[in-house]
Structure 1
Amino acid sequence: MNTRFLLYITIGLMSLTGCAHKNTSTAELLNTYWKLVEIKGTAVAVSDNQREPHMVLNAEQRVAGSDGCNRLMGGYQLSGDSLQFTQMASTRMACLQGASQADLIGVTLPQTARYAIQGEQLELRDASGAVIARFKAVALP
């Protein structure tokens, strides 16, 4: 009897463990706060006393965010998995730290041709299919 009981407990725990590891949640492209974590293969650094690089795309085809130094704004065009940023602009603050990273973000976003979302991660790809930026969905309070 004890062996059978242990077998049932083991099978039950294995079933629960298998379910616990499945991550089927997928963030939505629009109206999600996307925190930039990697740009052109390099991890993103957040400088002291500056905003983290991020973006939010809204349903009115507008994008807003920060490159870590400046505010970003512009438009986007979306069709299937095709994504293009248009009319991008930014403020021009004097940043003691992170200016080169901010410049790289400003140059990279317009190179976007496609996107993919897997779980809570957004990848931006250029026309050749190379990943040029990675973002993580962040829940806002």
Structure 2
Amino acid sequence: MRTPHRLLALTTGLLMAFSLTGCGGGDGESGSADGGTVDPVGTWGSTAAQAPNLTFTEDGNVTGTDGCNRLMGSWTAEGETIEFGEIASTLMACVDVDTWLSGAKTATVDGDTMVVRDEGGSEIGTLERGSGD
């Protein structure tokens, strides 16, 4: 059971973490042309209202939105696979918004398309590389 105080503490912690992760940045490229580790640094998806997107920083942080809730967490890359650490999310009620991105566990990059998979390895959606990187 969540009490108002616990929810307030969680929300405050998420907001503080969002403000700290906004300081990172980078100009990575998608994929790995030399067969090495994939580099997802930058923004994937649309920044339009109610659209999912993720921003990956060089220091291993990822922030974004599932179209309604704010998301934050960490990422690592092993070969061609991006693995997400625990992803924290706000818990807003979202009407007519598919919040598929909050179930992300891994991803791969093919050119300018990121394929996102859930815990079972099933594809749950794709994100295109943002043009504003």
Structure with greater strand percent: 1
- Shift in CA distance, 35/79, structure 1 to aligned 2, threshold 3 Å: same
Q: Who is 2:126 aligned against?
A: 134
SS in 2 for 1:138: coil
SS in 1 for 2:114: strand
How far apart are residue 129 of structure 1 and its match? 6.5
CA deviation map 1:81-109 (0-9, x unaligned): 122111201111222331xx11x3222x0
Percent identity for Structure 1 against Structure 2: 26
Q: Who is 2:12 aligned against?
A: none
Q: Who is 1:106 aligned against?
A: 102
Q: Who is 2:49 aligned against?
A: 50
How far apart are residue 116 of structure 1 and its match? 2.6
How far apart are the structure 2 equivalents of 1:51 and 1:140?
18
Q: Who is 1:116 aligned against?
A: 109
Largest Rg, 1 or 2: 1
Q: Who is 1:34 aligned against?
A: 44
Q: TM-score, normalised by structure 2?
A: 0.59
- Shift in CA distance, 126/139, structure 1 to aligned 2, threshold 3 Å: same
- Shift in CA distance, 129/85, structure 1 to aligned 2, threshold 3 Å: closer
Structure with greater helix percent: 1
Q: CA RMSD in A?
A: 2.9
Higher RCO (CA < 8 A, seq sep 6+): 1
- Shift in CA distance, 59/69, structure 1 to aligned 2, threshold 3 Å: same
Q: TM-score, normalised by structure 1?
A: 0.56
In the alignment of these two chains, the number of paired residues is 98
Contact (CA 8 Å) 2:101, 2:124: kept in 1 or not?
A: no
